[in-house]
Chain A
Amino acid sequence: MPPSTETEQIWMRHARWTAWGANLFWWMQRYLPLFLAWNLISAVGVIYARQQRWPQDVIIWSYIGGAVVLALIALGLAWKRFLTQRDGLIRLEEHLGLKSALSAAREGIIAWPPLPAERSAPFNFNWGPIATPISASAILLIVGCLIPVDKADAKVAITNPEQPIAWEELEAWVEELEENDVVEEVALEELKEKLNELRQQPAEQWFTQSSLEAGDNLRDQTQQDLQKLAQEMMNASAMMDAMRQVGNEPFSEQAKALDAEFAKSLQKMQLGTMPIDGELMEMLKKMGDCQACSGIDPSKYKLVKGKLDKNGKLVAMMAKLDPEDLEEMLLIAGQCMMPGNGGIDRGPGAAPLTANATESRVKPGKLEAVSNDDLRNASLGDTIAIQDRAPDENEAGEAFTITNTSGAASLGEGGDVVWKNELSPEERQLLENYFQ
C-alpha cells in the first residue's frame, strides 16, 4: 500500500481527472449545438465556394477558424458549470460507495482510504446527445462536399457589378477586341465614347428605364455589327480557299467571279460599322485576286488565313452567334464557292463526290455524307447523300430521298416517270414486285 501522502496525491489526481472528464462533457453540451449550426452554415458555404471555385485552402481554414471560435465561446459558456477537484472527489466517493470517507479524509478526520483495485468510470455515459449532432454534422459536411454543383463561368469577369449588365458586356467586348486587334481602333473609340456618354449620366439614373434601354440598344446594335463582321470574315476565308483552288486558271470565268466576290466582301468589311483591322485588311487586299492568291507563299497564305479564321471565330463567339448558325454559315459559304453546287454563278467542272466531310444539321432533315474514294469509277450522277427526314403533310409514307449530284438527275422515261416521281413507297414496292 502506498504511504498516506502518496495515497492522498493519487486520490486527488483521480478527483481532478473525474472533474475534467465531466467538464469536457459540459463543454461538449454547450459546443455541439453551435457546432451543428456551424456545419449547417458550412455545408451551404462549401456548396457556394465550390460554385465560385474558391481555393480549397480558404474553405478549409475558414471552416477551422469558425469551429475554433465557437469552441472558445462554448468554453466561456460552460465555464461556470465546471466541476472542481472537490466535486470530483465527492463524485468518486459516491461512485465507490466510500460513504464520504474521501471528504472526511480531506478534512483530516480519518486516514485516506486504500485505493480501489480496479478503476472504473464514475459516470454513466449517455451518448445520444453527443453522437447525434456529431453524425448530423458529418452528414451535412459530406453532402456539402459531394453534392454536384454547377460551377460559375468565370470567363467574363464583371469588374464593376454596380453598372448595368449591358455596359459590362460592351466593356468586355471592347477590351477583347482591343487585345486581339480585330477591328479598327477608330470604331472602338467611337464605341467607347458612346459608352462614356451613357456613363456620364448621374449614377442614380443609370438604372432608369431609358438608360437601360439605351444601353441594351447599343449592345444589341454592336452585337449585330459583330455578327455581320463575323459572317463576312467567314465568307472571305471560304473565298480565299476557293481562289486558291482556281488559281491555276486565273483568267477563267469562275476566277473572275471569285475575285469580284472577294473584293465585295473586303469592301463590306472595311466599310461596316465595325471595320476590320487595317493591317489585316492590307494583307487581305494583297491576295485580292486569284492570281495573287495562288502565287503567294503558302506560309504567308496560312498566316493570313489563320488570322482571319481566328479573328472570325472570336468575333462570332463574342457576338453570341449560335453554333448551328455559324456552322450553317460556314457550310453555305463553303458550298457556294464550290463548283457544281448550284447558284447562278456556279462554274463548270466536275462536282466532288462528297458534299461534306461530316454530317450536317443545316437542313431540317438528317443529311448523311457519303463518299467514294474510288475516283476512277466515279461519274456524274453518283449518289452523294442520303436524306432521311420527317415527311411533309402532303407526302405519303416516310420521306426517304436520295440526292444525286447536281444536274445529273434523270426523270426517266415512260413508266419510270410514274414510279420514280409520283408513287408512294408502298405503291412503288408493289409495282416493282409485279414486274419482277
Chain B
Amino acid sequence: MDNTTLTEQTAAEASQALKGLSAAVNEILFGQETLIETVILALLAGGHLLLEGLPGLGKTELVRTFSKTLDLDTKRVQFTPDLLPGDITGNPMLQEKDGQRTFVFQEGPVFTNLLLADEINRASPKTQSALLEAMQERRVTVMGTTYALPFPFFVFATQNPIELEGTYPLPEAQLDRFLFKLNVYSASKETLEKIITARTLGQEPVVRKSMTGEQLARISQLTNKVFLPEIVKSYIARLVHATYPNESTAAKVIKFGASPRAAIGLASAARARALLEGRIHASVDDVRMAAPHVLGHRIIINYQDRMEGVTPESFIAKLIAEINPEEAELPKSLSAAKIK
C-alpha cells in the first residue's frame, strides 16, 4: 500500500483493512460495534480515549483486545491515590558502573504504544498532570532531559462514574487532551447470552491478529491526507463557534464552550471516518457523527441548566439540529428533507 498518496483505491484498501480490524475485535467484544468503530477512529486520528462506564462492562477488555489484535506494545497502570508521577513517566536510578555513580533513566509504563490508564480519576492531580505532556507532545521530560515516546502512542483511560469518594475529577485541561470521551453502556439481554455462550470465567479469549502496528501507522498517515471540502471546514468552524455562550440558541445553557483543539479533533475524526468508509473526502455527516464524542467533554454547562437535566448529549443534539451545513438559513415554510 502506497502511504504517500491517497487515491480512491488506497482509501478502499484502507477501509477493507480497518473493517478486518473491527471484525477481529467484534469477535471478542459482543454488542459494542459502535464503540469499537469509534475507538478505531481515535486510533486513526491519533487521539487518546477516555472511556467511562460501570465496572465490568469490558473497558479494560476492549483495550487489551485492541492491543493484541494490533500487535502493539501495551502497558497498564492502575491509578490509585498514592501513585506518583514518576511511577508513570519513569525515574532516574542511581547506578554504579566502573566505579562511577550515574543516574540512569528507568522508563516508566508510559513508554509504550498503548497505555491503559485504569481508573484515572483515582490518582492525585499531580500524578494525572504527569500525563499531560506525554499525551499532547508525545514525550516525557524527567530531570531536565526529554525522552520521546514510541510511535504510535495512545492513552486509553477509564473512569468510573460512581464511587466518587476519594476521586479527583480530571481538570479541564486534562480532559481537553482526550480526543473522544466514550460512554460504555450495559449489554443487552441478547448480548449477554452471547457472552455467556462464548466465554468462561478465568479463561482468556484467543484474539486473532488482524493488523500490525506499522500498518496502523501507515493508515493513520493516510488519514491526514483525506480531503476536507470547504463546506465541511466551514461547518466544523460554525459548529464549534456555536458552542460559545450565546452564540447560538442551543448555547444559552453553556458556561464555557469548546476549544480550538476541539475543532482540530473534530476535523481529524471526520477525516478518519471518511477513510473508514473508503472515501477520500470528509463529509458533514462525518462531523455530525463525531461531534458528540469530541465536544461532549469539552463544554461546561451552567449549573442551573445541569440541574434541570441538560446533558452534553442533549445540548449537542440541539446544536446539530440548529446549525445547517449551508450557511444560509431556510425560510419557515421549508425544512430540510433527506432521502433515507
Residues of A within 8 A of B (CB): 22, 25-26, 28-29, 81-84, 86-87, 90-91, 94-97, 99-101, 103-104, 107, 109-110, 120-130
Q: Name which of B14-22, B53-61, B300-308, B326-334 contacts chain A.
A: B326-334
Chain B residues within an 8 Å CB radius of A126? 332-335
Chain A residues within an 8 Å CB radius of B284? 94, 99-100
Q: Name which of B95-103, B196-204, B226-234, B290-298 contacts chain A.
A: B226-234
**How many residues of B are in contact with the other chain, CB < 8 A?**
31
Chain B residues within an 8 Å CB radius of A123? 330, 334-337
Cβ-defined contact, A127 with B333, below 8 A: yes
Closest to B279 in A: A99
Closest to A116 in B: B339
10 A–B contacts, CB within 8 A, in A order: A25-B330, A87-B327, A95-B338, A100-B284, A100-B285, A109-B229, A124-B334, A124-B335, A125-B333, A125-B334
- Say whether B280 faces chain A, with CB atoms less than 8 Å apart: yes
Q: Bound complex: CA of A120 vs CA of B279, how far in Å?
A: 25
Cβ-defined contact, A87 with B282, below 8 A: no
Closest to B338 in A: A95
Chain A residues within an 8 Å CB radius of B285? 97, 99-100
Closest to A111 in B: B8
Shortest beta-carbon distance from A139 to chain B in Å: 20
Q: Bound complex: CA of A137 vs CA of B284, how far in Å?
A: 42
Residues facing A in B27-53 (CB within 8 A) are: none
Q: Bound complex: CA of A103 vs CA of B329, how far in Å?
A: 18
- Say whether B122 faces chain A, with CB atoms less than 8 Å apart: no
Cβ-defined contact, B227 with A104, below 8 A: yes
CB-CB under 8 A for A82 and B328, given A95-B336, A100-B281, A110-B8: yes
From A22, A91, A94, A129, name the one whose CB has the most chain B CB atoms within 10 angstroms: A94
Cβ-defined contact, A22 with B331, below 8 A: yes
Cβ-defined contact, B232 with A100, below 8 A: yes
The 0/1 profile, CB within 8 Å of A marked 1, for residues 306-331 of chain B is 00000000000000000001111111
Q: Bound complex: CA of A26 vs CA of B227, how far in Å?
A: 33
Cβ-defined contact, B333 with A103, below 8 A: no
Shortest beta-carbon distance from B258 to chain A in Å: 22
Closest to B286 in A: A99
Per CB-CB distance, the 6 closest pairs between chain A and chain B, nearest first, are: A100-B283, A99-B283, A104-B281, A87-B326, A103-B229, A123-B334
Cβ-defined contact, B231 with A90, below 8 A: yes
Which of B230, B327, B335 lies in contact with A103, CB distance below 8 A? B230
CB-CB under 8 A for A100 and B282, given A22-B330, A94-B325: yes
Known A94-B336, A94-B338, A110-B281; further 9 A-B contacts with Cβ < 8 A: A86-B326, A91-B336, A97-B285, A101-B281, A103-B232, A120-B339, A124-B336, A125-B333, A126-B334
Which of A83, A100, A110, A130 lies in contact with B328, CB distance below 8 A? A83
Which of A25, A97, A109, A125 lies in contact with B281, CB distance below 8 A? A109
From A84, A87, A129, name the one whose CB has the most chain B CB atoms within 10 angstroms: A87
Chain B residues within an 8 Å CB radius of A22? 328, 330-331, 334
Chain B residues within an 8 Å CB radius of A91? 326, 336
Chain A residues within an 8 Å CB radius of B325? 90, 94
Closest to A84 in B: B328
Chain B residues within an 8 Å CB radius of A101? 281, 283
Chain B residues within an 8 Å CB radius of A84? 328
Q: Bound complex: CA of A25 vs CA of B340, how far in Å?
A: 24
Cβ-defined contact, A29 with B332, below 8 A: yes
Chain B residues within an 8 Å CB radius of A128? 333
Q: Bound complex: CA of A56 vs CA of B231, how far in Å?
A: 55
Chain B residues within an 8 Å CB radius of A97? 285, 338-340
Cβ-defined contact, B329 with A81, below 8 A: yes
Cβ-defined contact, A96 with B339, below 8 A: yes
Closest to B281 in A: A104
Chain B residues within an 8 Å CB radius of A83? 326, 328
Shortest beta-carbon distance from A259 to chain B in Å: 91
Chain A residues within an 8 Å CB radius of B339? 95-97, 120
From B8, B280, B284, B326, name the one whose CB has the most chain A CB atoms within 10 angstroms: B326
Q: Bound complex: CA of A90 vs CA of B324, how far in Å?
A: 10
Cβ-defined contact, A107 with B230, below 8 A: yes
Shortest beta-carbon distance from B235 to chain A in Å: 9
Shortest beta-carbon distance from B233 to chain A in Å: 10
